[in-house]
Amino acid sequence: MSRSSSIELKKQLSRLITVIVLAGLAYGILYIHSLLPIITGYPAKYLCSAVFVSNRQQAEVEALDLHFSFIKYTKNVVNLQDSSVTSSFLWGESKAIYRKGYGATLVRDIDETDLRKIKLPKLAAPAYNQDTIAWPMGNVMPDTITNIDKVRLDEITEKLMDEEGYNGHAFAFMVVHKGIPVVESYQPAFNSKTRFLSWSMAKSFTNSLAGILVKDGKLDINRPTDIPEWQNDDRKNITFNNLMQMQSGLSWNEDYGNRSDVTVMLYCENDFARFTLNQPLGFPVGSKWYYSSGSVNIVNHLMRKVINDDNKYYQFAQSRLFNKIGIPDAVFELDPAGNQVGSSYIYATARDYARYALLNLQDGVFNGERILPEGWLKYSTTPASDSKGEYGSLFWLNKSNKYPSAPDDMYSCNGHDGQQIFMIPSKELIVVILGYSPKPDHVMNFDVLLGDILEAVQ
């Protein structure tokens, strides 16, 4: 090879390397750009709810709840005048606004002014003062105790709350035995009035709201959903039951990694249900179980259509469920399109979550009134056909022996980052754990905790 040819070859290689580097840089920038709505949307929404719904302090939330991955590098501005939070990172920015009674909503594909102009009805107030009436409807707690080993239970509480002895960081812990609260404990920043984020525990509440519509004769869970977009393919066969048992067959990725379907839905989309219902089938309807937050938001969207009146829709959860079971201060947040986010966004106190568990343990009856139809809990805790005993209708089951320390009749509401409501009918036992697990190696050892609590019961 001549010297001139060698020089020309080196120039070509140099140009090729430059093109490859620039292409890689461009791809990296485009990829980061695609993540910015999630990186900034998560803290904007989370912090807005934490400050304006849960009355937490910005610095405390940022130090614990938001101290991970790229999220910890965002700059967050809380505006107390217009009840908003703006979060920014690199060239990306997201804003969430708070609306009284309806919590925080991330501004997506709608002008903020237009979002604020939407008239939402004032929610029905309960006809009672919780601080003056007895548990479970009220906050006057019983001074009696069951035959549970209180000394052992106090040791468990100290191990969980003060020593993180179960490998997790709990914000709140409550145990109810035979309908009576026997333990209630909080970290210093929280108390019995603090509203905690449900994350996916909200799915079980959606199950109950569907049950109320069934009781009213307005919903048949075994009929196809009649969604117009599904009528020209096999999606037309999807029923409410398929959606609630998470066997719809719709393509869905729930791994929470970067731009998975669930993170795109929650932080990039305006209408969570429409994003999901536009997914194609990945499996035959009813044939395969896999977890899908999107399916639940379709259920909430369809319940809105069944009720067919937005004023009544927004009042429905409050008047027909929350106020009936002593949780009138619970907040059910909306997506920008106005659908209640039944997959993820209910805020309620530890006592509220325990009351909801009590409704289920009492087969849908609370304070002497039947709230859910007879047989609804049996349906809800019957395993979905492909779940291997792990899942019913928007409730997790222990028939798969996931928690060997607990009996197989236990069922639960499970939420992201360690939110749990365990219900054990055979032991008349409820365990509520609310907290945050920001590190992969800090995942609560629920099996050991349940085993210790059950020993105290026995």
**pLDDT, the chain, mean:** 93
Least confident of 30-39, 83-92, 264-273, 345-354: 30-39
- Output 21 or 409, whichever has higher pLDDT: 409
Whole-angstrom CA distances from 67 to 49, 73, 195 are 17, 8, 21
The answer, yes or no, to whether residue 26 has pLDDT greater than 70, is no
**Quick check: 346 pLDDT over 80?**
yes
Which of 149-163, 227-241, 380-394 shows the lowest mean pLDDT across its residues? 149-163
Please provide the size of the chain in residues: 458
Give yes or no for a contact between 445 and 163, defined as CB atoms under 8 angstroms apart.
Answer: no
Give the pLDDT confidence of 91-148 residue by residue, as tens digits.
Answer: 999 999 999 999 999 999 999 999 999 999 999 888 899 999 999 999 999 988 888 9
The lowest-confidence range among 5-19, 26-40, 321-335 is: 5-19
Alpha helices in 137-227 (DSSP H): 150-161, 202-215
Question: What are the pLDDT digits (tens) for 245-281?
Answer: 999 999 999 987 678 999 999 999 999 999 999 999 9
If DSSP codes are grouped into helix, strand and coil, which group holds residue 291? Answer: coil
> What value does the mean pLDDT take over residues 51-78?
95
Tell me the pLDDT band of 439, cut-offs 50, 70 and 90.
Answer: low
All structural domains of the chain, each given as residue ranges with its CATH number in brackets, are: 3-117 (no CATH), 130-457 (3.40.710.10)
On the question of pLDDT at 442 being above 70, the answer is no
pLDDT digits (tens, 9 = 90+) for 186-241: 999 999 999 999 999 999 999 999 999 999 999 999 999 999 999 999 999 999 99
pLDDT of residue 9: 66
Q: Within a 10 A sphere around the Cβ of 309, how many other Cβ atoms?
A: 10
pTM higher than 0.75: yes
- 194-222 per-residue burial string, b: 16 or more CB within 10 A, e: under 16: bbbbbbbbbbbbbbbbbbbbbbeeebebe
